[in-house]
Chains A and B, each alone.
Chain A
Amino acid sequence: MPTIRLDVNGTERAVDAAEDTPLLYVLRNDLGLKAARFGCGSGRCGACFVLIDGRAVASCDTPLWAAAGRRIVTLEGLGSPEAPHPLQRAVIDEQAAQCGYCLSGILVSAAALLAANAAPTEAEVRAALDRNLCRCGSHNRLVRAVVRAAHGGAE
């Protein structure tokens, strides 16, 4: 098995895994990063989204070889309790979840949106989150959280 080097959350990590291994399993099982979650395994729900070179991508659908040499950021890399990303703060302020299983992937999609469009309209936020599914009906709270984050927390 070859050693593959990955750039994850700004750190170089070496992984011993077959190069067609889905990135999701490597993040969760080899690197201990549990934010990206398995939902469907086929790019249809967004639970496993991570940023690759700034774009929100399904890690369940991305083989390791395609991720090597690119900049991978998971929700853990966006912020921490000590230095939260505005989206993380806004999600707590808006209490924007029920089970929260969908949350990591949604925040990753939102982070990609805000990086490209600092002041999105509500419709733009919804469109950007359309690749993410939520079954608990937390959609509107999540949209409010993204809009709030874009406005620097004051909403």
Chain B
Amino acid sequence: MTGPLRRAGGGPDERPQLPGSLNANRRLGQWLRFLPEGLVEVRSGKVELGQGIATALAQIVADELDVAPARVRMVPASTASSPDEAVTSGSLSVQQSGTALRYACAEARALYLEAAAARLGKPVERLQVIDGEIVAVGGAHTSYWALADERLLDREATARVAPKSTHRFVGSNALRLDLPDKAFGRPRFVHDLEFPGMLHGRVLRPPSPAAALRALDDAQARALGAVVVRDGSFLGVLAEREEVAVKALERLRAGASWSEPATLPDAHALADWLQAQPVESKVVAEHAAAGAATPARTLRARFSRPYLAHASIGPSCALAHWRDGRLQVWCHSQGIYNLRADLALTLGLAAERIDVSHVEGAGCYGHNGADDVALDAALLARAAGERPVRVVWSRADELAWAPLGPAMAIALEADVDAGGEVLAWRHELWSNGHSTRPGRAATPTLLAAFHLERPFEPVLAIDPPLPAGGAERNARPLYGFPALRVVHHRVLSMPLRASALRSLGAFANVFAIESFVDDLARARDEDPVAWRLRHLTDARAHAVIEAAARRAGWAARRRREHCGHGIGFARYKNLGAYCAVVAEIEAAREIRVQRLVVAIDVGQVVNPDGVANQAEGGAIQAASWTLKEAVRFDRTRITSASWEDYPILGFSEVPAVEVEIVACPEDAPWVGAGEAAQGPTAAAIANAVRDALGVRVRDLPITPERIAATD
């Protein structure tokens, strides 16, 4: 077995720092083992979310070990056997897990070469590895598979063996490992998992965020043969058949009466509401100009984004099974160890008595209901007499009860001189924190925990620390301004559950900054691309902006009625991928984005097609947020609980997208691709709307109604 697993980032440590997640998971055997049948089993703590991480990691392993990618088996993460890599988020997986695997595999290869040298009686220098065969000059040979012995890797990594500098598979378009199953409709998702004797569970969520159960008549539900589970305001049903569980749930809904206080803000004045709340404030960045010039005037604008839903196509799903006082959970959580910690807190059970295994879910874009449904399944399975239970959320609960990406308000000010050049730039933002992820607080953050007979208090959302940050992510512009001040107000009232949604605060901050600088350039009659290049010194920033402009034909663009072009740029988190987007739109009765050109620099590229796929997907999703999406609510309830009320961009509305991967300096580290395009896409569309119609929309989404109201 593996050594004791420690929390990433936990405790003082005398031992040498190891690369990536190897530092917190130091035994080589935790990461890989060779199997006699000619396979290498690889364990990563990062999970497949639809982003293609398993394929990218397999490419890295294949290169370091000199084996064909087909020999690599990526084992789904489980607390029973996988390294603890905290959460799969923040576009960090290749950096953290890929780096660890590179070093672990390089060292494993060296150890097996030593063993082969001993067996063959040849010096290591005279051996080479060809698809796992270890061949000596002269023809004697053995293999990883013949030598397979777990004791060889049962030792602490040293990271003394340098990974390869040339690659065969890294940098090539490896085919996605998970795609054949999906193309042929084979079971693959957690929703498809089934165990003998399994019961179907459904949870009756309260009708509104602050509702409390007053009375319950469950006779009609039980008349169907369903078991009704109640613990405070947490209600659920269990049935032998899925359709019976669904029917029983509707009967239970009809039999429940709730008190529903009106606790929600005015959805039509969210920015005002945010700015009026109690806050905790901090200065994110500040510098003053030496010998400051007197400004000719000050420009001001306020931007906002609404609450956004994850709106995954497959609702949250988990299975749970209690046996002999132990709990097993299968779910699509982004952080299985963190989930386990919160399950332990909620259930009053030692974490060692819980195993959480990852099984793929539908696309994951942040902290959604994946962790919550795991607790739902555990609570219902507790009433199932040692039978396994599968719980699936309804579409309505998925849209209304999963954590939301929080609303934000951003006030920008620029002092400019007589020529319109910026002398001082000020950025203030108001937002809830962008994380209520489990496993990080003293009490659980899982939804059902707030509804139990002995409830836990909901935990206020926090922000990950800088430099990445949460709400303040990308609030500091990369443009060189003589004076700068960025202030972050974390809003301390949280009437709606908020947490991490793809790119966190970067989406709104970049939208605001890039809209505002476009207007500054426009006021000077300066080309927006030229303005940006003039204010940036970083060559990689220049490269993506120039690439996007060139590919989009920016310089030769022609003015056509109702059509417009816009550009947006950011470096994700100010330390990750560089990305520039040019949007072409047509504004007739509605806004149609016709084309998005995305230029992106993600450092070294493991899988170019994977990067293009992620960047394109991110841009399309961001276009959907920008044009259509807002969580709707009255003063009591969320009202956008169906696809009719929470529309997303459809096939006929999706723009053409071209992605250009821009070459980077050779030593540039790997950074993720999935979140870089969100902010630049929103800004590019907003700037194109301004270009087409002369209207600056500052409150997302940019709908025809908003445009009419801005006129």
Contact = CB atoms under 8 A, between A and B. Distances in A.
A44 B311 CA distance: 13
A107 B194 CA distance: 24
A100 B186 CA distance: 11
Among the interface residues B363, B642, B652, which one has the most CB atoms of the partner chain A within 10 A?
Answer: B363
Contacts of B192: 28, 34
Interface stretch (B112-120, B177-185, B661-669): B177-185
Contacts of B243: 17-18, 21-22, 25
Nearest to B657: A140
Nearest to A22: B243
Size band of the interface chain B makes with A: 35 or more
A95 B277 CA distance: 47
B421 interface: no
A141 B179 contact: no
A74 B50 CA distance: 23
Given A17-B241, A25-B243, A100-B50, A140 B616 contact: yes
Nearest to B189: A101
Nearest to B654: A139
Given A18-B243, A129-B651, A99 B50 contact: yes
Contacts of B395: 39-42, 44-45
A3 interface: no
Nearest to A80: B184
A81 interface: yes
B651 A139 contact: yes
Nearest to A88: B183
A135 B648 contact: yes
Interface string B287-306: 00000000000000000000
A137 interface: yes
A40 B179 contact: no
Contacts of B186: 34-35, 76
Interface string B654-678: 1011000000000000000000000
Given A97-B176, A98-B50, A137 B362 contact: no
A126 to B, nearest CB: 4
Contact of B652 (A79, A104, A130): A130
Interface string B591-623: 000000000000000000100011011111100
Contacts of A104: 182, 185
A136 B502 CA distance: 12
B616 A137 contact: yes
Contacts, number: 173
A132 B311 CA distance: 14
A125 B651 CA distance: 9
Interface string A91-119: 11001011111111001000000000000
Contacts of A107: 183
A69 B174 CA distance: 44
Interface string B312-324: 1111000000000
Contacts of B334: none
B651 A95 contact: no
Contact of B312 (A74, A135, A140): A135
Interface string B237-248: 000011100100
Nearest to A35: B185
Contacts of A139: 620, 651, 654
B142 interface: no
A78 to B, nearest CB: 8
Size band of the interface chain A makes with B: 35 or more
Contact of A101 (B179, B362, B619, B650): B362
Interface string B346-374: 00000000000000111111000000000
Contacts of A137: 616-621, 654
A68 interface: no
Among the interface residues B179, B188, B313, B621, which one has the most CB atoms of the partner chain A within 10 A?
Answer: B313
Interface in A12-53: 17-18, 21-22, 25, 28-29, 33-42, 44-45, 47
Given A22-B243, A139-B651, A103 B182 contact: yes
Contacts of A102: 313, 362
A152 interface: no
A102 B650 CA distance: 13
Contact of B617 (A21, A39, A79, A136): A136
B144 to A, nearest CB: 28
B13 interface: no
A99 B180 CA distance: 12
B314 A97 contact: no
A128 to B, nearest CB: 8
B333 interface: no
Nearest to A106: B651
A101 B613 CA distance: 16
A66 interface: no
A44 B392 CA distance: 17
B592 to A, nearest CB: 13
Given A17-B241, A98-B51, A101-B189, A135 B184 contact: no
Contacts of B311: 135
Given A33-B185, A37-B191, A98-B50, 9 more contacts: A17-B241, A21-B243, A22-B243, A95-B609, A98-B363, A107-B183, A130-B652, A133-B648, A140-B654
Interface of A: 17-18, 21-22, 25, 28-29, 33-42, 44-45, 47, 74-76, 79-81, 84, 88, 91-92, 95, 97-104, 107, 123, 125-127, 129-130, 132-143
- Would you list the 3 A-B pairs with minimal beta carbon distance, nearest first? A35-B185, A99-B50, A137-B620
